[in-house]
């Protein structure tokens, strides 16, 4: 349901996400595509077009959240996600997709869904045009092993979390096929543990090679992507060997793991999900986490190790996407664009490179390579207008008040000519 009239965005400073310097241009959108990018201002033939004056603003591709969790509702621990009834959980999920769209994220690559059908149903409703939302690749829940990240049960007590627990090759195949049947795009496996799990720390790799290979086989047989929670060096190596498409965290990667990733860099994407660590280290007091609690669990070391690892990832030309595990109490949805600044500040990316990770590289991960993620003729019209010079100051993107226009698939979610944000209007699309 695109706008009926073409839209002419005039006199914008265009950041096209190819690595080129920003340049002034007029950009014409017709239907859901960018029809023309004219560097000679005031030369476009745009009869009957709606005009938007972009003087003083940056026109750039919409942001891609490469590790999004729209089903994470601001909880402080995973077991709380298991306690939310599915009906309420679906409404919260839809709301979170809108929060992210409102902050400039026109694509969400879901890193895991807290329940099997939440991401799938939300994606389907957006694709059907039932409501305006970001593009979505919907994920499965986090498939884990007994004693892995996401197994919140105790010997005397059953507890749901965000995981599906499957041990051994046969159970793994069955649960992966279940996720295929229910329509996920991304199959998520928790290969390593994490430092907030007492029985499976980040350095532990509970998932066997055979279990990983089985998930990859099923996912790829159905034409879907495999995504992994992998902090330990061993987990990264097992994921590369098995052909997991997107490997998250990778913070404890040793030289061998980095070499393996580099040799296979055209097969894999990685994502640090660094927002989680940053907020834990710098904003823990806001939610009552004591510094000592973090130090006892080694989060300060994890922070430093992540910085070193992602300097290397950048240097070796490995494809890295933004996305910071937003959706916990200490990482509220809407802060997602902070990751761009983190890439510059902590990993040594130039502002332009970090913005490319957040747009073009993310669009490639979405499966839209050559079709989305750049301001280019013929590309899908997922576009932002940002007040000011985003390349000079990437932190402008952290405040939605600076985002004057959000366009998704050619439709205006936020229109700089109206002072009423779409968020204040009813749920239905036009």
Taking the complex as a whole, the smallest distance from the CB of residue 325 to Zn ion amounts, in Å, to 4
Taking the complex as a whole, the smallest distance from the CB of residue 150 to Zn ion amounts, in Å, to 11
Our CB check for Zn ion shows the closer of 104 and 271 to be 271
Our CB check for Zn ion shows the closer of 57 and 357 to be 357
Burial class (CB in 10 A: 0-12, 13-18, 19+), 214: buried
Torsion, Cα of 220, 222, 224, 228 (10° steps): -50
Single out the segment in contact with Zn ion by CB under 5 A; choices: 102-110, 149-157, 323-331, 353-361. Answer: 323-331
Single out the segment in contact with Zn ion by CB under 5 A; choices: 39-47, 49-57, 79-87, 325-333. Answer: 325-333
Taking the complex as a whole, the smallest distance from the CB of residue 141 to Zn ion amounts, in Å, to 12
Single out the segment in contact with Zn ion by CB under 5 A; choices: 115-123, 161-169, 173-181, 321-329. Answer: 321-329
Identify the three-state secondary structure at position 347: helix
Torsion, Cα of 335, 341, 342, 345 (10° steps): -150
Q: Does 325 bind Zn ion (CB under 5 A)?
A: yes
Number of residues binding to Zn ion, judged by CB under 5 A: 2
Identify the three-state secondary structure at position 17: coil
Cα–Cα distance, 322 to 41 (Å, whole number):
33
Taking the complex as a whole, the smallest distance from the CB of residue 68 to Zn ion amounts, in Å, to 9
- Three-state SS for 178-246 is HHHHCCCCEEEEECCCCCCCCCCCCCCCCCCHHHHHHHHHHHHHCCCEEEEEECCHHHHHHHHHHCCCE
Of 202, 198, 273, the closest CA to residue 236 belongs to 202
Among residue numbers 341 through 360, which ones bind Zn ion (CB under 5 A)? none
Taking the complex as a whole, the smallest distance from the CB of residue 269 to Zn ion amounts, in Å, to 14
Our CB check for Zn ion shows the closer of 152 and 325 to be 325
Taking the complex as a whole, the smallest distance from the CB of residue 381 to Zn ion amounts, in Å, to 29
Name which position in 111, 138, 294, 385 contacts Zn ion (CB under 5 A): 111
Our CB check for Zn ion shows the closer of 112 and 176 to be 112
Is there a contact between 336 and 275 (Cβ–Cβ < 8 Å)? yes
Cα–Cα distance, 51 to 32 (Å, whole number):
16
Taking the complex as a whole, the smallest distance from the CB of residue 136 to Zn ion amounts, in Å, to 15
Taking the complex as a whole, the smallest distance from the CB of residue 116 to Zn ion amounts, in Å, to 16
Tokens 């007590």 map to which residue?
Answer: 157
Single out the segment in contact with Zn ion by CB under 5 A; choices: 161-169, 183-191, 318-326, 396-404. Answer: 318-326
- The interface mask with Zn ion, positions 122-151, x = CB under 5 A, is ------------------------------
**Which residues in 301-336 are b (16+ Cβ under 10 Å) and which e?**
ebbebbbebbebbbeeebbbbbbbbbbbbbbebbbb
Our CB check for Zn ion shows the closer of 84 and 111 to be 111
Single out the segment in contact with Zn ion by CB under 5 A; choices: 10-18, 20-28, 106-114, 249-257. Answer: 106-114
Cα 301 → chain centroid: 24
Single out the segment in contact with Zn ion by CB under 5 A; choices: 212-220, 324-332, 335-343, 347-355. Answer: 324-332
Chain positions contacting Zn ion, by CB under 5 A: 111, 325
């Amino acid at each position: 349901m695109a706008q009926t009239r073409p839209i002419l965005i005039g006199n914008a400073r265009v950041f096209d996400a190819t690595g080129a310097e920003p340049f002034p241009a007029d950009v014409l959108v017709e239907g859901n595509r960018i029809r023309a990018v004219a560097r000679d201002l005031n030369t476009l033939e745009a009869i009957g077009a709606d005009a938007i004056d972009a003087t003083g603003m940056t026109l750039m591709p919409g942001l891609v959240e490469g590790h999004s969790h729209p089903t994470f509702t601001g909880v402080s621990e995973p077991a709380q996600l298991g306690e939310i009834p599915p009906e309420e959980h679906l409404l919260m999920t839809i709301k979170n997709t809108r929060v992210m769209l409102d902050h400039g994220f026109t694509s969400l690559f879901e890193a895991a869904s807290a329940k099997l059908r939440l991401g799938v149903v939300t994606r389907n409703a957006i694709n059907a045009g039932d409501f305006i939302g970001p593009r979505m690749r919907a994920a499965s829940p986090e498939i884990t092993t007994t004693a892995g990240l996401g197994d919140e049960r105790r010997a005397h007590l059953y507890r749901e979390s965000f995981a599906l627990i499957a041990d051994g090759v046969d159970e793994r195949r069955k649960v992966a096929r279940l996720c295929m049947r229910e329509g996920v795009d991304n199959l998520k496996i928790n290969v390593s543990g994490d430092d907030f799990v007492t029985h499976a720390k980040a350095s532990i790799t509970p998932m066997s090679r055979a279990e990983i290979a089985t998930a990859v086989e099923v996912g790829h047989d159905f034409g879907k992507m495999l995504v992994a929670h992998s902090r330990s060096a061993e987990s990264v190596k097992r994921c590369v060997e098995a052909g997991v498409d997107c490997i998250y965290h990778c913070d404890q990667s040793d030289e061998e793991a980095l070499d393996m990733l580099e040799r296979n860099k055209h097969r894999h994407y990685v994502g640090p999900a660094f927002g989680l660590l940053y907020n834990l280290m710098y904003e823990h007091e806001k939610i009552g986490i004591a510094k000592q609690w973090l130090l006892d669990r080694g989060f300060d070391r994890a922070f430093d190790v992540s910085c070193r690892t992602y300097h290397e990832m950048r240097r070796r030309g490995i494809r890295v996407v933004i996305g910071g595990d937003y959706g916990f109490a200490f990482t509220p949805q809407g802060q997602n664009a902070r990751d761009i600044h983190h890439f510059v500040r902590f990993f040594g990316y130039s502002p332009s490179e970090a913005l490319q990770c957040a747009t073009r590289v993310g669009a490639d991960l979405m499966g839209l390579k050559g079709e989305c993620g750049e301001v280019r003729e013929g590309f899908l019209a997922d576009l932002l207008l940002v007040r000011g010079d985003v390349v000079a100051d990437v932190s402008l993107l952290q405040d939605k008040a600076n985002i004057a226009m959000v366009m998704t698939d050619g439709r205006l979610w936020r229109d700089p000519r109206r002072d009423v944000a779409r968020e204040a209007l009813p749920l239905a699309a036009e």
